[in-house]
A = this chain, B = another copy of it.
Amino acid sequence: MKELEKFKEILKFHRLRITQSRLAVASILIQNRETPFTPEEIFDCIQRSDDLYCDQVSVYRTLSIFEDLGLVSKFLFHGQAARYMISISNKNTPYHKHYFKCDQCHWVEPLGDCILLKTEKRLEKKGYRNLHHHIEVTGLCPRCTT
Contacts and interface: CB of A to CB of B under 8 A. Distances in A.
B116 A145 contact: no
A123 B138 contact: no
Given A74-B78, A111-B119, A115-B116, A139 B145 contact: no
Given A74-B78, A134-B136, A135-B136, A145 B129 contact: yes
A115 B26 CA distance: 35
A94 interface: no
Interface in A39-83: 74, 76, 78
B137 A130 contact: no
A interface bracket (residues with beta carbon within 8 Å of B): 20 to 34
A137 B115 contact: no
Contacts of A145: 127-129
Task: Determine how many copies of this chain the complex contains.
Answer: 2
A103 interface: yes
Interface string A107-125: 0000110011001100100
Given A123-B100, A136-B134, A142 B128 contact: yes
Interface of A: 74, 76, 78, 100, 103, 111-112, 115-116, 119-120, 123, 126-142, 145
Given A111-B119, A128-B140, A134-B137, 20 more contacts: A76-B78, A100-B123, A103-B130, A112-B119, A115-B115, A115-B116, A115-B119, A119-B137, A126-B142, A128-B145, A130-B139, A130-B140, A131-B137, A131-B139, A132-B137, A133-B135, A133-B136, A133-B138, A134-B138, A135-B135
